Amino acid sequence: MSEEVEVYTQEQADKDIFASMDSVDICERVQAVTEADRTEDEVGDLFRNERHIALKMQKPLFVSSLSSDQKSRIDALDVSL
């Protein structure tokens, strides 16, 4: 049995960047709220979106396709797996 390897394309990276910037917006909004004041929904949103961004940042093509502004905004979130 051969295992099919998925190739990450520039087109996919571009789509992922577009979607990830929505995640960045959510993270920035929720991180601006003090931890004690965050709702349960906000905590869940933050967790999911930080994880999404961290996973995408593992893809070299994704990272190299970011603009300097996009990269700076993601770096400022200080997310990691």
pTM score = 0.88
> Do the domain assignments include residue 4?
no
Confidence of residue 2 (pLDDT cuts 50, 70, 90): low
> Do the domain assignments include residue 59?
yes
Q: At what angle do helices 10-31 and 68-77 cross, to 10 degrees?
A: 50
> Do the domain assignments include residue 42?
yes
> Do the domain assignments include residue 25?
yes
* Tens-place pLDDT, residues 7-55: 999 999 999 999 999 999 999 999 999 999 999 999 999 999 999 999 9
> Do the domain assignments include residue 62?
yes
Q: How far is CA 76 from CA 2, 16, 66, 80, in A?
A: 41, 19, 14, 12
Domain, as residue range, for 23: 10-77
> Do the domain assignments include residue 37?
yes
Q: How many domains does the chain have?
A: 1
